[in-house]
Structure 1
Amino acid sequence: MSEPFRVGFVTGSTPDKWARAWRERRRVPLELVPVLESEQEIGLREETLDMALVRLPIDREGLHCVRLYAEVPVVVAGVDHFVAAAEEVTLADLTDEQLVRPHASGWQPDASQLDWPPMSEKDAIETVAAGTGVVIVPMSIARLHMRKDVVHRPVTDLDPTEIALAWRIERDAEDTQAFVGLARGRSANSSR
């Protein structure tokens, strides 16, 4: 039996559809490997992963990168928070809030911030559920960690985050291109 084709995926990305298509069309086994966003490049660079679904930005030095889709940024707050009454919010609406986890954009509320310890998205949403502050995450993360005691609303003036497929330039083999084809929507009968 051949070595499995290893594809990492960050929290919130959804490789299932492509994994199903791979298993239907390819003889090489596929192994999906969850990776933390903070470690999404490590498996590629250390060659323990053949490819990875990553959340941009990443250091593209030595990597191919194909953008797949954008993710809407949302604010997550407790159900009693004022954002629960809104359909969407802007950063100006959040300027007086406690941001329990830094946002990748670097945006900070104007309010003096508490010294929050580093925490995962799940921990941040649990903190928000307790009625303390807000967190801004991609919608896929908010949905993954959805709870009855929180709500999420789009933040209209933040740029979307993007999910991309990345792999080492020297790993640009037939199986790599086959997976790229699946992710880009090529059918079993189409050719490059």
Structure 2
Amino acid sequence: MSLTPLGQEFLESLRPAYAALERVVATTQETAAGGGGQLRIGFQGTANDNILAAVAVFQEEHPCCLIEVTELPLNDPFGALRRGEVDSAVVLLPVAEDDLILGPVFSEQPQTLTVSVKHPLAGRSLLDVEDLAGTVLISVASPAPGYWRQAQAPTQTPSGALVRRGPEVRTLQEGLSMIAANRGGMLLCRPTAEQNQRTDIVHIPITGLPDSALGLVWRRGEETPSLKAFAAALMGD
């Protein structure tokens, strides 16, 4: 015997809800038994000082709970979270997903424009957002949602001037390679720029843009005690 196409579609639609129920039951059992369990945190790019410090504090205060940190693709900030591969994720803002909760927001940082040393703007010491008019920005590939991709690589300046869309990349390292090849620029927060110093690219401070920020997100209805404790550690509470 085998499922009909309708039955198969019904089964697939139930899998996410069933997986979520399994996670809730497992967490409840661990808490009731006094066990530490496991907390899996995903992050984009490089785990910065805030994340590493929070991991250290959480692990010291909850030695029986194993915490794992996993890098997420730049172009898929929410996929691993939805698939249940991580319990929470530290991602670049903005976040406007109905099935996810945005918790603590932290690490607000000024932005820079990263370009090749051969780029026409490479000799500038400071830029305004309107200087992006006519330039090419390397964009983030799908499946990142459109609003999120637009925030990382806007297609126009505040005055409405066109910013050209360049190659699409999946990871930060792909983006840096495209920049070095003078295929376009990328907007990076200052700490990320400082961590990626190279002789073939330059990082130029840019004004007129909102600060970059990170946020801790998790699946709606799945805020566990361990997750609450990590969120508190992240905010230094």
Q: Structure 1 length normalisation: TM-score?
A: 0.81
Q: Which moved more, 1:100-109 or 1:172-181?
A: 100-109
Residues 66-109 of structure 1: CA deviation (Å, up to 9, x unaligned) = 21232322111223445443332012223232323366332347
Residue 7 of structure 1 deviates from its aligned partner by 0.6
One-letter amino acid matched to 2:40: R
Residue 6 of structure 1 deviates from its aligned partner by 0.4
Decide whether aligned partners of structure 1 residues 59 and 13 sit closer, same or farther in structure 2, where only a CA change above 3 A counts.
farther
Decide whether aligned partners of structure 1 residues 73 and 13 sit closer, same or farther in structure 2, where only a CA change above 3 A counts.
farther
Aligned with residue 156 of structure 1, among 177, 198, 207:
207
Aligned alpha-carbon RMSD (Å): 2.6
Aligned with residue 150 of structure 2, among 104, 109, 119:
104
Q: SS state of the match for residue 233, structure 2? A: helix
Q: 2-side partners of 1:17 and 1:50: how far apart? A: 18
Q: 1-side partners of 2:121 and 2:78: how far apart? A: 34
Aligned with residue 60 of structure 1, among 97, 108, 117:
97
Correspondence list, 1:7-156, <5 A: 7-14=41-48, 15-26=51-62, 27-65=64-102, 66-101=104-139, 104-105=150-151, 106-108=154-156, 113=164, 116-119=166-169, 120-156=171-207
Structure-1 residue corresponding to 2:216: 165
Does the CA contact (< 8 Å) of 2:155 and 2:163 recur in 1?
no
Decide which structure has greater helix share.
2
Q: 2-side partners of 1:47 and 1:95: how far apart? A: 41
Does the CA contact (< 8 Å) of 1:77 and 1:133 recur in 2?
yes
One-letter amino acid matched to 1:99: L
Decide whether aligned partners of structure 1 residues 43 and 157 sit closer, same or farther in structure 2, where only a CA change above 3 A counts.
same
Decide whether aligned partners of structure 1 residues 112 and 46 sit closer, same or farther in structure 2, where only a CA change above 3 A counts.
closer
Q: Which moved more, 1:103-112 or 1:160-169?
A: 103-112
Q: Any stretches of 5+ residues in structure 1 without a counterpart?
A: 187-192
Decide whether aligned partners of structure 1 residues 183 and 94 sit closer, same or farther in structure 2, where only a CA change above 3 A counts.
same
Residues 32-56 of structure 1: CA deviation (Å, up to 9, x unaligned) = 0111233222222222211111111
One-letter amino acid matched to 1:96: G
Q: 1-side partners of 2:100 and 2:176: how far apart? A: 32
One-letter amino acid matched to 1:4: Q
Q: 1-side partners of 2:162 and 2:95: how far apart? A: 30
Q: Any stretches of 5+ residues in structure 2 without a counterpart?
A: 1-34, 141-148
Q: Which has the larger Rg?
A: 2
Structure-1 residue corresponding to 2:27: none
Q: Structure 2 length normalisation: TM-score?
A: 0.67
Provide the aligned length of Structure 1 versus Structure 2.
185
